[in-house]
A and B are shown apart, each in its own frame.
Chain A
Amino acid sequence: MDSMLSLEKVTHYFGGLKAVSNFNLELPDGALYGLIGPNGAGKTTIFNLITGIYTPTEGSIKLMNESIIRKKPYQIVHMGIARTFQNLRIFGSLSVLDNIRISRHYTVGKSKHTGNRKHKESSDLVQTNLFDSFFRTRNYLKAERQITDEAIDLLKLIKLDDVMHEQAKSLPYGKLRKLEIARALATHPSVLLLDEPAAGMNPAEIGELMDLIHFIRDNFKITILLIEHHMKVVMGICEYIKVIDFGETIAEGKPVEVANNPRVIEAYLGKEEGKCS
């Protein structure tokens, strides 16, 4: 099978509100898919379901054929799914470098959930426990150095190394968005979920972001699912797009197909005219 992430008949209720209804998704390995829909359509909720923040009322979610339902969010991260947030959730008073180093954290804990991951390079990290850190054993220092070096390498790649010692909250908005993506990447995911990464960016930054997403996909060989309101971004980089409204899938297909679908135009593009030019 080729499917990296698959959602089948996923339905989720908030009390009486059906936020996601019978949602299906087959995300092939290495794909770059888009998920769009008007405000309140249920997009973020789908991300929250995939990352284990909510448990779906019905349906199944599988990562490389293994069910991830009822797993804790951190376990799902260990299995290889990382995400960013619509409203930034940065570790504001820590340094940029520390934001990244935290993501590399779990590899030094004794996690049982790293077996299924595609990118194995992190599993040869030295493992340490609390005892090691209390006594600063050699073993521990080695692991720390490894974490730091990897984090710095990643920051160089993303071109945030010039600000790595700054306090994260002092960064401009565009860089914060980038930092959040880098932080997600640092967990070595197989699947990356991006929730409106272009929100609040100016056109120049949006151009950079599109390059970055392409770069990540090609360089890290990661499967990406993207929520975005900026049509330029979605139409420009996604290979395949799903459109939802009121939790229901109303259209899907290649960008051109979706853009010309009358239901989509009615439900979404029509209303969002201001944003999509």
Chain B
Amino acid sequence: MGKKIFFISRRMLLFVAGALGMLLLVLFFNATGIFTDYIVQIINISLINVILAVSLNLINGFTGQFSIGHMGFAAVGAYTSATVTTLIAKVTPRLPYTEFININGYIVFILALLLGGIVAAGIGFLIGFPSLRLKGDYLAIITLGFGEIIRTIFNNIDYVGGPRGLLGIPKFSNLIMIFVITLLSVIAIRNLVFSTHGRALLSIRENELASELVGVNTVRYKITAFTIGAFFAGIAGGLQAHLLQIAHPTQYGFLYSILVLIMVYAGGMGSITGSIIAAFALTFLSEGLRTALPGLGDLMHVKIGDEWRMVVYSLLLIIIMLFRTEVLMGMREMKLLVPEEEEHHGQHA
């Protein structure tokens, strides 16, 4: 034994190759000026939203819990990692700011991201406990309350800027960085859900009592789902803070949590593919509306405020709920994400 422990299937290699191909395409378009930096920035944000949506899907879609405070975990990851990197940037004043961005800087960044993820996971572990006793709507309120409490706390800690936010975060996140981390996150969660542990999570969603009575330790698995989901949300938060170079309490409010929730629902509860597509579609829609609405207003000689964007979003959420059963993907996955050996076993592909 001990020769080759990790097994990478051909299909997974294809998936990774396809994804890398897209990355190269984007880099190429950016270099030739077809994609402006603004478009690349939207892609960056979309990729971060992919991590957020897929990790929330793990909690809500696959495990059937109901968390609506996901950005609370992202906030924890963002503030934790950004505090570390800004602190290190400060205590190494010999290096001018720009020079901090070198290979050592990246090692620090990766470690800081991981730390952010781990602290967020710790909080997720704690938030998992109410899920043991509470179902559905009550759990929603608790997670909502948790998200607000986290925000209030950061709002009141002067060390991280309080209501002004944490400023001057080094810009470590770039397209390649974000892309690779998003890819790894997606693969990790995909591997989890297509495993016996993933089936244990699904069985909790399907019927919790029956799940316990075929031998699944539902307590442990529910907490596991929250912990892992929070870990990845923390990573996403860290990436975002180092992309926008600011962590501000209002970034992590209820509204953003709901946007992520919309992505999960629009893409399909229990579909990673759906979450990926929806994260891109809705991020682009959001940015599109941000530029299109004022333009439309100019045409009609009225001022159309940014609030209309949210009006569109909320209508979208209502419409999805009223007319859906299977929105984008339902519970299906694109073929490349389904392991070969699972191909016929579920209703996935």
A222 contacts chain B at the CB level, 8 A cutoff: no
Are A147 and B213 interface neighbours, CB within 8 A? no
Instruction: For chain B, residues 169 to 210, give those with C-beta under 8 angstroms from any C-beta of chain A.
Output: 188, 191-192, 195-200, 202-203, 206-207, 209-210
Cβ-defined contact, A77 with B199, below 8 A: no
The answer to whether B215 touches A187 (Cβ under 8 A) is yes
A234 at the binding interface (Cβ < 8 Å): no
Give min CB distance, A84 to chain B, whole Å: 9
Are B5 and A186 neighbours in the complex by a CB distance under 8 Å? no
One of A20-28, A88-96, A245-253 contacting the partner:
A88-96
**Chain A residues closer than 8 Å to B214, beta-carbon distance:** 77, 82, 102-103, 105, 183-184, 186-187
Check B213–A139 contact: CB distance below 8 A: no
Residues in chain B near residue A147, CB distance under 8 A: 196
A93, B7: Cβ atoms closer than 8 Å: no
Chain B residues near A14 (CB-CB < 8 A): none
Assembled-state Cα–Cα distance A144/B9 (Å) = 15
Check if A78 is an interface residue, CB within 8 A of chain B: yes
Which one of B191, B202, B213, B217 contacts A133 once the chains associate, using CB atoms below 8 Å? B191
Chain B 324-349 interface 0/1 with A at a Cβ cutoff of 8 Å (1 = within): 00000001000000010100111100
Question: What residues of A have a CB within 8 angstroms of the CB of B217 in the complex?
Answer: 72, 74, 106, 109
CA distance A184 to B339 in the complex (A): 27
| Chain A residue total in the interface (Cβ 8 A) | 50
Which residue in B9, B191, B196, B202 is a CB contact (below 8 Å) of A91? B202
Bound Cα distance from A97 to B348, whole angstroms: 13
Which of B200, B206, B207, B211 has the most A CB atoms < 10 Å from its CB?
B206
Given contacts A105-B216, A143-B196, A147-B196, contact A137 B5 (CB under 8 A): yes
Given contacts A91-B206, A102-B200, contact A135 B6 (CB under 8 A): yes
Contact of A106 among B6, B9, B216, B347 (CB under 8 A): B216
Contacts of A101 in B (CB 8 A): 196, 199, 345
A102→B345 contact, CB < 8 A: no
A139–B1 CA distance with the chains assembled, in angstroms: 10
The reply to whether B191 and A134 form a contact with Cβ atoms under 8 Å apart is yes
Q: Which residues of A contact B9 (CB under 8 A)?
A: 136
A53 to B196, CA, bound (A): 24
User: Is B37 part of the contact surface with A, judged by Cβ < 8 Å?
Assistant: no
Contact A74 B215 (CB under 8 A): yes
- Determine whether the beta carbon of A102 is less than 8 Å from that of B213: no
Interface string of A102-138 (1 = CB under 8 A from B): 1111101100000000000000000010101111111
Determine the distance from Cα of A103 to Cα of B199 in the docked complex, in whole angstroms. 10
Looking at the complex, which one of A78, A89, A135, A145 makes contact with B207 (CB distance below 8 Å)?
Answer: A89
Cβ < 8 Å to A, chain B residues 210-240: 210-219, 224
Q: Is A42 an interface residue (CB 8 A)?
A: no
Interface residues of B in 1-39 (CB under 8 A from A): 4-9
Chain A CB within 10 Å, residue with most, of B202, B203, B345, B346: B345
* Alpha-carbon distance A72/B210, docked complex (angstroms): 13
Whether A133 lies near B192 (C-beta < 8 A) is: yes
A91–B210 touching, CB < 8 Å: yes
Per the bound structure, the CA–CA distance linking A92 and B345 in Å amounts to: 15
In the complex, which residues of chain A have a beta carbon less than 8 angstroms from the beta carbon of B202? 91, 94, 98, 102
* B interface with A by C-beta (< 8 Å): 4-9, 188, 191-192, 195-200, 202-203, 206-207, 209-219, 224, 331, 339, 341, 344-347
Closest 8 CB pairs of A and B: A133-B195, A91-B206, A89-B210, A77-B215, A106-B215, A103-B214, A102-B203, A89-B207
Residues on A lying within 8 angstroms of B by beta carbon are: 51, 53, 72-74, 77-78, 82-83, 85, 89-95, 97-98, 101-106, 108-109, 128, 130, 132-141, 143-145, 147-148, 165, 167, 183-184, 186-187
What are 11 of the A-B contact pairs (CB < 8 Å)?
A72-B212, A90-B207, A91-B206, A92-B206, A102-B214, A105-B215, A109-B217, A133-B195, A144-B195, A165-B345, A187-B215
